[in-house]
Amino acid sequence: QVQLVESGGGVVQPGRSLRLSCAASGFTFSGYALHWVRQAPGKGLEWVAVISYDGSNKYYADSVKGRFTISRDNSKNTLYLQMNSLRGEDTAVYYCAREYDDFPDVWGKGTTVTVSS
Residues near other proteins (CB under 8 A) are 35, 37, 44-47, 50, 59, 61-62, 95, 101-105, 107-110
Nearer to other proteins, 75 or 102 (CB): 102
Nearer to other proteins, 2 or 16 (CB): 2
Nearer to other proteins, 47 or 53 (CB): 47
Q: Are strands 3-7 and 18-25 parallel, antiparallel or unpaired?
A: antiparallel
The CB-of-107 to other proteins minimum distance in angstroms stands at: 4
Find, among 115, 85, 71, the residue nearest to 15 by Cα: 85
Find, among 66, 104, 98, 61, the residue nearest to 82 by Cα: 66
